[in-house]
């Protein structure tokens, strides 16, 4: 099976062309676990299959490193845009990608690769859709119309969380000294907390100023990653509804920076960030 290793701000996935590689659905979870293993496999935060789609230009079929399915990945979908353009599967610079039934709109920015002379995608802007705040739709067990700065007990300590879905569940927690956080100890308790029926991704966020924040993320099914696109979107929403930032911010993550804008008039989230190919391979 041929594959391409790609990354967006260090959030790395193995990409497989579903047009040419036919893998039985039942074999994919074990294959994903083997490929994602950083010691005995290729090494990645998961695997993404790029498939034909009736309702969009392409389908993104995404798996976490533990073999579980995920609904959406912001960094992953940007790399999908780069993959299909750079490999000639499309010549359009505005495309649609469907993932878990949700349609996303991508705008591709290209530049000439001085090494090859070919035009390649360097940056992708994604219309990530409307943020979901209703507890039942995130899902999170909570009363009321939204979960904003609500207390949650984790390992005997109370935290304040704001919950958002960007097609997948997120719990955003604001704190100081995020760089020093022992996230590998705290993250799993948030991920598997009884208040999250489908588990959750957790963002630990420190406010720098009205336009910049620093975030570390614990992704369900994977652990800490260098970036999370949907997590950056959820972080921006949480910052704004709590009154901490403007409507357009830069989210600084361990792997780089991602720009997020919440158009309040249309209630749409726009994410802009890099997408890079690491290497090609065959397994």
Where residue 216 sits, what CATH number does that domain have? 3.10.310.10
Same domain, 237 and 277: no
Same domain, 75 and 161: no
Same domain, 8 and 103: yes
pLDDT at 140: 98
pLDDT at 132: 98
Residue among 69, 58, 68, 80 at smallest CA distance from 14: 80
Q: Is 283 in a helix, a strand, or coil?
A: coil
Neighbours of 123 (CB within 10 A): 17
pLDDT at 276: 97
Q: Give the range of the structural domain holding residue 15, as residue numbers without chain letter.
A: 2-128+273-282
Same domain, 176 and 248: yes
Same domain, 49 and 165: no
Please count the structural domains in the chain: 2
122 is catalytic: no
Neighbours of 194 (CB within 10 A): 6
Same domain, 140 and 252: yes
Q: Exactly one of 228, 232, 233, 239 is catalytic; which is it?
A: 228
Q: Are 260 and 235 in contact (CB under 8 A)?
A: yes
Same domain, 107 and 170: no
Same domain, 15 and 122: yes
pLDDT, mean of residues 3-14: 97
Same domain, 141 and 254: yes
State the pLDDT confidence band at 189, using cuts at 50, 70 and 90: very high
Same domain, 89 and 178: no
163 is catalytic: no
Q: What percent of the chain has pLDDT over 70?
A: 100
State the pLDDT confidence band at 212, using cuts at 50, 70 and 90: very high
Strands 157-165 and 276-282 turn out to be unpaired
Backbone angles phi, psi at 211, to 5 degrees: -125, 0
Same domain, 23 and 73: yes
Q: Is 74 in a helix, a strand, or coil?
A: helix
Residue among 165, 159, 125, 141 at smallest CA distance from 274: 125
Same domain, 148 and 86: no
pLDDT digits (tens, 9 = 90+) for 226-273: 999 999 999 999 999 999 999 999 999 999 999 999 999 999 999 999
What's the DSSP call for residue 52? -
Q: Exactly one of 73, 163, 232, 239 is catalytic; which is it?
A: 73
Backbone angles phi, psi at 78, to 5 degrees: -65, -40
Tokens of 266: 């249309």
DSSP 238-273: HHHHTTSS-SEEEEEETTEEEEEEEETTTTEEEEEE
CA-based R_g, the chain, Å = 18
């Amino acid at each position: 099976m041929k594959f391409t290793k790609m990354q967006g701000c260090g959030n790395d996935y193995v990409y497989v062309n579903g047009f040419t590689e036919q893998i039985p659905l039942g074999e994919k979870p074990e294959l994903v676990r083997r490929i994602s293993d950083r010691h005995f496999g290729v090494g990645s935060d998961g695997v993404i299959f790029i498939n034909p789609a009736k309702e969009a230009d392409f389908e993104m079929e995404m798996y976490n490193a533990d073999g579980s399915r995920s609904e959406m990945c912001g960094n992953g979908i940007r790399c999908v845009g780069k993959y299909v353009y750079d490999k000639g599967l499309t010549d359009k610079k505005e495309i649609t990608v469907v993932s878990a039934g949700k349609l996303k709109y991508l705008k591709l920015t290209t530049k000439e690769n001085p090494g090859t002379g070919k035009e390649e995608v360097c940056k992708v802007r994604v219309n990530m859709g409307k943020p979901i705040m209703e507890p039942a739709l995130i899902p999170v067990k909570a009363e009321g119309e939204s979960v904003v700065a609500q207390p949650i007990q984790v390992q005997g300590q109370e935290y304040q969380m704001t919950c958002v879905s960007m097609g997948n569940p997120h719990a955003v927690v604001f704190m100081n000294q995020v760089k020093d956080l022992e996230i590998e100890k705290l993250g799993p308790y948030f991920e598997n907390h009884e208040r999250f029926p489908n588990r959750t991704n957790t963002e630990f966020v420190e406010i720098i100023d009205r336009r910049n924040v620093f975030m570390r993320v614990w992704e369900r099914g994977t652990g800490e990653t260098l970036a999370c696109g949907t997590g950056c979107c959820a972080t921006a929403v949480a910052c704004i509804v709590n009154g901490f930032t403007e409507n357009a911010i830069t989210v600084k993550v361990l792997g780089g920076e991602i720009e997020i804008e919440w158009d309040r008039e249309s209630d749409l989230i726009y994410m802009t960030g890099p997408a890079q190919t690491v290497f090609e391979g065959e397994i």
